[in-house]
Amino acid sequence: MNKIKTDILIIGAGSGGLSVAAGAVQMGADVTLLEGHKMGGDCLNYGCVPSKALIASAKAAYGQRHSAQYGVADAAGAVDYAAAKDHVADVIAQIAPVDSVERFEGLGVRVLREWGRFTSDRTVQAGDTEITARRVVIATGSSPLVPPIPGLDEVPYETNETLFELREQPEHLLIVGGGPIGMEMAQAHVRLGSKVTVIEGDKALGNDDPELAQVVLQSLKDEGVEIAEGATASRISGTAGDITIETGDGRSFHGSHLLMAVGRKTNTERLNLTAAGIETTTRGVKVDASLRTTNRRVYAIGDVAGGMQFTHVAGYHAGVIVRSLLFALPSKAKTAHIPWATYTDPELAQVGLTEAQARDTYGDRLEVVRFDYHHNDRAIAERKSRGFIKVMVVKGRPVGASIVGHQAGELINLWALVLANNMKMSQVAAMVSPYPTIGEVNKRAAGAYFSPRLFDSKLVKTVVGLVQRFIP
């Protein structure tokens, strides 16, 4: 048996694990990285990257069929589904070298293509190698959650881990789950020419502000997506090409293909955590504010830590723990400044508190300002004027921002910066945006906060009147 001693052992080569590895090795630590599956993890291979690539194909097809509004004749927008998947594969291939074994070995990381399993509080077995580490980072991510719906085990279905390898275009795609993954793939497939039905047991996009979510849902319905809410799948039956979903309220839905998109489960099964004295919860590995587990030698980051499941959160977690791992300095993870986006058309983005959450927290101290896209000149020129922004403000400081509309995922960056640095609305108002840009939406939202204070103020009008009367 081979034996290795290392400063930092990282289990999992997804976004968080790779970020820790790259940062730690370049600052002088001896780093060992384990990955039993694909380098780059879920984001590169099954999640963010392939889904956005497929969305880009769908956007191109939709644009061809809806170009008359720009004075360009509509075209058929004929779709070659297999070629669209070739585009997805090519995008993954272009990004993959950044996450490759070769790159990280070139940086000085010891990379073992093995699964890791704890054998004690500081040792991990990986194939025929025993690794003893001063510190261990669990970065094993999450996988699709497939609930035990009667009949599902006898029916062919896709998850995000198999969908992007599907070459045959679904004639009618049934999607169980109306969260971000389900709604993104619903719109992508209807634009690529499939019929699509989304079956959601509660409310579609239920974790977002319902006023904003409704704008997205109506857009999808306008494009032909059938959305059945309050429909809990109670039984699934059929064969390839002929699948039926029955719901608890007596409805029945028929389609050719099935995508399960009901959520995620953390990847802890292989780790033998009890051997290391590491506790778990129903959401994942139990961690404190510094992302330490119940074994103080071991950290958990990203999805497996049981919090917000986003690639950028894993990257943020990596930065938090590197401070502790390398410099023994205290560092805590926070969530108030973490943004997220759903890449439908229009996009949906959020950072900080929603309006409902802010009202619960601040009551009458809360002010909500908004600005509609249909007052933005660039949005009008682009025929992208559906949507609006809401900013939740308390005593001049934003505590949350919600955006639905064109490039919402880009616009939310500014508000993430504002919340991360506890900035004021006056600092946003002082920003000058180039004209005409979609980014002016943010500037105008800040203006909407100050306008009533300036234009509806009797004091301001009195002062202006006196100045005009008495100052030569």
Q: Say whether 162 counts as a known binding-site residue.
A: no
**Between these two residues, 226 and 453, which has the higher pLDDT value?**
226
The residue count for the chain: 472
Q: Say whether 255 counts as a known binding-site residue.
A: no
Q: Say whether 90 counts as a known binding-site residue.
A: no
Note the pLDDT of residue 455. 64
Q: What is the CA radius of gyration of the chain?
A: 25
Beta strand extents in 221-355 (DSSP E only): 226-228, 233-239, 242-247, 252-255, 257-260, 264-266, 298-300, 339-342, 347-352
Q: Say whether 141 counts as a known binding-site residue.
A: yes
Q: Say whether 51 counts as a known binding-site residue.
A: no
Q: Which of 194, 193, 198, 189 is nearest to 172 (CA)?
A: 194
pLDDT in tens, 284-334: 999 999 999 999 999 999 999 999 999 999 999 999 999 999 999 999 999
Q: Say whether 3 counts as a known binding-site residue.
A: no
Q: Say whether 263 counts as a known binding-site residue.
A: yes
Q: Which of 448, 272, 441, 468 is nearest to 349 (CA)?
A: 441
Note the pLDDT of residue 389. 98
pLDDT band at 464 (very low <50, low <70, confident <90, very high): confident
CATH topology of domain 2-39+100-144+265-327: FAD/NAD(P)-binding domain (3.50.50)
Q: Say whether 161 counts as a known binding-site residue.
A: no
Tokens of 322: 């590197």
Q: Say whether 171 counts as a known binding-site residue.
A: no
Q: Say whether 355 counts as a known binding-site residue.
A: no
Q: Read out DSSP for 78-116?
A: ---HHHHHHHHHHHHHHHGGGGSHHHHHHHT-EEE-S--
Note the pLDDT of residue 85. 97
Residue 90: Cβ within 10 Å count: 11
**Is the confidence at residue 385, as pLDDT, over 90?**
yes
Q: What architecture does CATH give domain 152-258?
A: 3-Layer(bba) Sandwich (3.50)
- Give the mean pLDDT of 435-460: 86
- Give the mean pLDDT of 376-386: 97
Q: How far apart are the first and last CA of the chain?
A: 92
Q: Say whether 116 counts as a known binding-site residue.
A: yes
- Give the mean pLDDT of 80-103: 97
Q: Give the full edge-to-edge strand order of the sheet including 172-176.
A: 226-228, 195-199, 172-176, 257-260
**Is the confidence at residue 454, as pLDDT, over 70?**
no
Distance (Å, rounded) from C-alpha 234 to C-alpha 221?
24
pLDDT in tens, 195-220: 999 999 999 999 999 999 999 999 99
pLDDT in tens, 336-360: 999 999 999 999 999 999 999 999 9
16 with 95: CB under 8 angstroms?
Answer: no
pLDDT in tens, 167-187: 999 999 999 999 999 999 999
Note the pLDDT of residue 458. 76
Q: Say whether 180 counts as a known binding-site residue.
A: yes
pLDDT in tens, 49-76: 999 999 999 999 999 999 999 999 999 9
% of residues, the chain, pLDDT over 90: 95
Q: Say whether 277 counts as a known binding-site residue.
A: no
Distance (Å, rounded) from C-alpha 143 to C-alpha 158?
13
Note the pLDDT of residue 417. 98
370 with 390: CB under 8 angstroms?
Answer: yes
Note the pLDDT of residue 466. 78
Q: What architecture does CATH give domain 339-455?
A: 2-Layer Sandwich (3.30)
Q: Say whether 52 counts as a known binding-site residue.
A: yes
* Residue whose structure tokens are 């410099």: 327
- For helices 48-65 and 81-95, the axis angle rounded to 10 degrees is 140
Is 152-258's fold the same as 339-455's?
A: no
Domain ranges of the chain: 2-39+100-144+265-327, 152-258, 339-455
